[in-house]
Amino acid sequence: MATAPNASSLFLVSSPISTAPRARAGSCPPSAQPSLRLRPRPSPAIAAAVQAEHQPAVAATPKPPALPFRVGHGFDLHRLEPNLPLIIGGINIPHDRGCEAHSDGDVLLHCVVDAILGALGLPDIGQIFPDSDPRWKGADSSVFMKEAVKLMHEAGYELGNLDATLILQRPKISPFKETIRSNLCDLLGADPSVVNLKAKTHEKVDSLGENRSIAAHTVVLLMRK
């Protein structure tokens, strides 16, 4: 990881909180006590570089009408591979598999970002932060979240409410759900009463039910300030 805060090295972290590595690691034994770790917050230099990166794509999008409210839907899916960290909502979840992705593979944050961008009538996360760009390799998805929230406020909207559904066969999310939701509220700057998180299995059907992938859906309501 580079240490210079410039546009070619966007993932400098100044927080002392330990981060979830993208390198493959040993699996978590079934008897291990769950140990949750928050991803560190990006530095101000990252935010400035991210803003400069997405400006051309955003500027090319026609300005949407000033509606009293706007609705957006987001979806994301990632393949699960052995011995990678499983990051959900910025939290490192103990599991023997994790998301294979260009960034940190946080399926929940990715679909929340897409829901906000969709509500604003902006390009999706893949257009603004393409996986063909090496600068996003291993990126902390909170970078994308903070930028989506910034765009929301700049457009004159605030979060009305958010409803998200995680779909995965394993691990069980119930022991971690409130921690994930709390971190999601923090990233959104939202009261917990307007942020809902659900988790479902896929009844052992297809790649989701066979613990080979993880998916998430999110619906957001944005209200005019």
Instruction: Name the nearest CA neighbour of 114 among 125, 101, 103.
Output: 125
In a domain, 23, yes or no: no
What does pTM read for this prediction?
Answer: 0.72
In a domain, 181, yes or no: yes
Instruction: Compute the distance between CA of residue 26 and CA of residue 29 in angstroms, rounded to an integer.
Output: 9
Instruction: Compute the distance between CA of residue 61 and CA of residue 57 in angstroms, rounded to an integer.
Output: 7
In a domain, 145, yes or no: yes
In a domain, 25, yes or no: no
In a domain, 216, yes or no: yes
Look up the CATH number of the domain holding residue 124: 3.30.1330.50
Q: Among 13-22, 93-102, 124-133, 136-145, name the one with the lowest average pLDDT.
A: 13-22
Structural domain boundaries enclosing 211: 69-224
- Number of structural domains the chain divides into: 1
In a domain, 100, yes or no: yes
Cβ atoms of 99 and 107 closer than 8 Å:
yes
In a domain, 5, yes or no: no
Cβ atoms of 155 and 122 closer than 8 Å:
no
Q: Among 23-27, 178-182, 212-216, name the one with the lowest average pLDDT.
A: 23-27
Q: What average pLDDT is seen over the chain?
A: 80
In a domain, 58, yes or no: no
If one compares 210 and 34, the residue with the highest pLDDT of the two is: 210
Which band of pLDDT confidence, cut at 50, 70 and 90, is reported for residue 5?
Answer: very low
Q: What is the pLDDT of residue 55?
A: 57
Phi, psi of 28 (to 5 degrees): -90, 120
